[in-house]
Amino acid sequence: MAMQPTAMRFANLRNQSLTTRVSLLGLTVLCLYGVVSPAAGYWGGTSGLWAAAAAAALCLAGTAAALVVSHPLRGPKYVWYSLFLGTLFRTGVPLGAGLACILRGGALAEAGMLVYLLVFYPLTLVLETILSLPSGSRDRHRADISQNATP
């Protein structure tokens, strides 16, 4: 069974360099900010724009750090280390900053930075997960499959 074009594109993304994957993550967050910013500006004015930008930056920082930290830990021997460290950065950065924002108060908290974290976090989580999956090359595992196996 041949791979679908969309699945092929995702597999190609996973095979790119770390710099390319982090850049793609940043570009995606920037595009999402472009979609969110009119609503943030309408409901929160300048403070709303800053709150959305802060949430975007925090989610980007967390997921980019998770990609960078887990990159040298690829492979079956390091899967638990990669999972733990990636989750620590991916979740810890936005959650810690959001908690600090709420506890401290101020313009960002009043403008709804936590709401914007809830907008940016799921997208960055999904994209970072796709970009951190093992490469899509099938040649390495081809020898493991019996030639008599039926598809």
Contact (Cβ atoms closer than 8 angstroms) between residue 128 and residue 25: yes
Segment 96-120, tens digit of pLDDT: 999 999 999 999 999 999 999 999 9
CA angle 37, 43, 48 (to 5 degrees): 55
130: closest CA among 12, 19, 3, 5?
A: 12
Model-wide pTM > 0.85: no
Tell me how many degrees the CA angle 140-134-119 measures, rounded to the nearest 5: 160
- pLDDT confidence of residue 3: 59
User: In the predicted model, what is the mean pLDDT of residues 123-132?
Assistant: 92
What value does the mean pLDDT take over residues 125-133? 90
Helical packing angle, 113-132 and 79-104, nearest 10°: 170
Taking only the tens place, the pLDDT of each residue in 15-39 is 889 999 999 999 999 999 999 999 9
Residue 147, pLDDT > 80, answer no
pLDDT at 137 over 60: no
The pLDDT of residue 30? 98
Whether residue 85 has pLDDT greater than 80: yes
Check pLDDT > 80 for residue 61. yes
How large is the C-alpha radius of gyration of the chain? 19
In whole angstroms, what is the distance from residue 67 CA to residue 16 CA?
Answer: 12
